[in-house]
Amino acid sequence: MILYFRLLKESFAFAMNALRNNKLRTMLSLLGVTIGIFSIIAVLTAVDSLDKKIKSDISGLDNRSIFLFKYCFGPSEVPDWKVEQFPDVTFDEYNFLKSNLDGVEAITYQLFTNNENIKYLDKTASSVSVKPCTFEYADVEKLDFKDGRFFNEQESNSGRNVIIIGSEIAESLFENENPIDKEIRLYGQRFVVIGVLKKVGGRMVSFGPNPDTTIYIPVNKIRGMFGDNNPQFTPLILIKPTKDVELEDIKAELIQKLRVKRGLKSGEIDNFFVNLLKGATDQIDAIISEMNIIGWVIAGFSFLVGGFGIANIMFVSVKERTSLIGIQKSLGAKNKFILFQFLFEAIVLCVIGGIIGLIIVWLLSVILTSALDFEFVLSFSNIMLGTLLSIGVGIISGILPAISASNLDPVEAIRSGM
């Protein structure tokens, strides 16, 4: 073991000596490995950071959530003109499913509507997302509160003038003032602020408006003011299944019971869509996997160039040190000693190139994180991957020069160097 440590030390010394004596040649050879490691780790870091950001953005909703309304999230075989003729889901259907659908942890009824302006004294927040919903919404989507609470069942059913506001709205209207119990004007009426949400920040993927610029009010207040058939509002039923139920089972039961509720006959198509959030997240995962594959392909070409560069410099190194190899073998050095000496040297050179590539990725991630509203994270797993890839390239590109060096005849080697 001591022999191998000594061998590693000498190989490192040879590699550093090559760097010093042949700076340009060595740097050009290392450039391929550096670019290869930079390419793959930069892509993986970007993809991992993107994946982390997307999952953080949609973490408020359970991956098993079900969206029931007249529209489909993705492509559909039903023509658009026919979809427009579908009836909206109703508050009565929400109550029916709430009472008759099994395997449900929470179910909420909400409305999509136009953005509105809200006022507090002489201050106005423009183009605010309004989300009328039932009290169960806080059980379906994770909402983190800075102050206050969500409205309860009694406030929801009675349609009280209570409101929950996002962090940006609170900053815009109240600045350093505590918004709780203050009154703001919406739809010409006064609503009492009972909750303020924590700041979420920018989102890359969102199934709905950003909570920072959203207000939440009881849906029965809107139903009382505008009725159930106002074209300004598009209703949706959001369902959160229990952990033990299969999504396909609850989807089939949901379709069957809603068809019965709507009186659809056998052979008639569903006049509603059951959209699974898992389907959307699976598509995102597939895209991220494809991006990873593209990154590996790009890096593969860089590694190929880098490997040839290292192999070239190792063959040159063997040529320059032929007489030294002959002297070592004449003094009793075994073939494996010579082989490991050059193999370790190739690995050391590749690791140096890999470290340079990792440092560039780290610096770039720090700069981009500071400049953009997006966190790039160089994970420990990617650092280890870069290191292992560098070692792998070193072994592959250094093995042939090392074998050729170990097989040299000591007499011929000494003679060729004279």
Confidence of residue 120 (pLDDT cuts 50, 70, 90): confident
What integer pLDDT is reported at residue 311 of this predicted model? 80
What integer pLDDT is reported at residue 131 of this predicted model? 93
What integer pLDDT is reported at residue 416 of this predicted model? 67
Q: Which residues contact 345 (CB under 8 A, 6 or more apart)?
A: 11, 14, 15, 18, 314, 317, 398
Confidence of residue 19 (pLDDT cuts 50, 70, 90): low
Please indicate, yes or no, whether residues 185 and 137 belong to a single structural domain of this protein: yes
Q: Which residues pair with 111 in a beta bridge?
A: 235
What integer pLDDT is reported at residue 283 of this predicted model? 66
Please indicate, yes or no, whether residues 246 and 152 belong to a single structural domain of this protein: yes
Any domain includes 311: yes
Please indicate, yes or no, whether residues 254 and 291 belong to a single structural domain of this protein: no
- Tokens for 38, please give them: 């930079």
Confidence of residue 313 (pLDDT cuts 50, 70, 90): confident
Confidence of residue 353 (pLDDT cuts 50, 70, 90): confident
Contact 67, 58 (CB under 8 A): no
User: Residue 35, exposed/middle/buried by CB under 10 A (0-12, 13-18, 19+)?
Assistant: buried
Write out the residue range of the structural domain in which residue 186 sits. 87-271
Confidence of residue 14 (pLDDT cuts 50, 70, 90): low
Q: Does the pLDDT of residue 6 top 80, yes or no?
A: no
Q: Which residues contact 301 (CB under 8 A, 6 or more apart)?
A: none
Q: Does the pLDDT of residue 137 top 70, yes or no?
A: yes
Tell which of 209, 243, 271 closes a domain: 271
How many CB atoms neighbour CB 188 within 10 A? 6
Q: What are the respective helix, strand and coil percentages of the chain, to the nearest 5?
A: 55, 15, 25
Residue among 67, 220, 217 nearest 131 (CA): 217
pLDDT digits (tens, 9 = 90+) for 194-244: 999 988 766 544 556 778 889 999 999 999 998 888 888 889 999 888 888
Tell which of 221, 236, 271 closes a domain: 271
Please indicate, yes or no, whether residues 113 and 239 belong to a single structural domain of this protein: yes
Confidence of residue 126 (pLDDT cuts 50, 70, 90): confident
Any domain includes 278: no
Please indicate, yes or no, whether residues 383 and 298 belong to a single structural domain of this protein: yes
Contact 87, 166 (CB under 8 A): no
Q: Which of 58-72, 86-100, 391-405 is most confident?
A: 86-100
DSSP per-residue string spanning 178-228: --TT-EEEETTEEEEEEEEEPP----SS-SSS-GGGEEEEEHHHHHHHH-S
Please report which helix (H) or strand (E) contains residue 275, including its range.
Answer: strand 273-276
Tell which of 218, 243, 271 closes a domain: 271
Interval 284-311 mean pLDDT:
73
Please indicate, yes or no, whether residues 43 and 106 belong to a single structural domain of this protein: no
Any domain includes 75: no
Please indicate, yes or no, whether residues 297 and 388 belong to a single structural domain of this protein: yes
Q: Does the pLDDT of residue 113 top 80, yes or no?
A: yes
Please indicate, yes or no, whether residues 263 and 295 belong to a single structural domain of this protein: no
Any domain includes 264: yes
SS3 373: coil
Give the chain's mean pLDDT.
81
Q: Is the entire prediction scored with pTM above 0.75?
A: no
Q: Does the pLDDT of residue 28 top 60, yes or no?
A: yes
What integer pLDDT is reported at residue 108 of this predicted model? 93
Please indicate, yes or no, whether residues 93 and 132 belong to a single structural domain of this protein: yes
Q: Does the pLDDT of residue 61 top 60, yes or no?
A: no
Q: Which residues contact 241 (CB under 8 A, 6 or more apart)?
A: 64, 66, 103, 104, 105, 247, 250
326 vs 343: CA distance, rounded Å: 17
Please indicate, yes or no, whether residues 32 and 91 belong to a single structural domain of this protein: no
Please indicate, yes or no, whether residues 50 and 126 belong to a single structural domain of this protein: no
Please indicate, yes or no, whether residues 246 and 296 belong to a single structural domain of this protein: no
Amino acid letter, 270: D
- Tokens for 143, please give them: 């909402």
99 vs 104: CA distance, rounded Å: 10
Contact 192, 162 (CB under 8 A): yes
Q: How many structural domains is the chain composed of?
A: 2
Any domain includes 132: yes
Confidence of residue 96 (pLDDT cuts 50, 70, 90): very high
Q: Does the pLDDT of residue 417 top 60, yes or no?
A: no
Contact 323, 414 (CB under 8 A): yes
Residue among 306, 310, 383 nearest 44 (CA): 383
Confidence of residue 56 (pLDDT cuts 50, 70, 90): low
Confidence of residue 365 (pLDDT cuts 50, 70, 90): confident
pLDDT digits (tens, 9 = 90+) for 139-184: 888 788 999 999 999 999 999 999 999 988 998 888 888 899 999 9
pLDDT digits (tens, 9 = 90+) for 382-407: 788 888 888 888 888 888 887 887 77
Confidence of residue 279 (pLDDT cuts 50, 70, 90): low
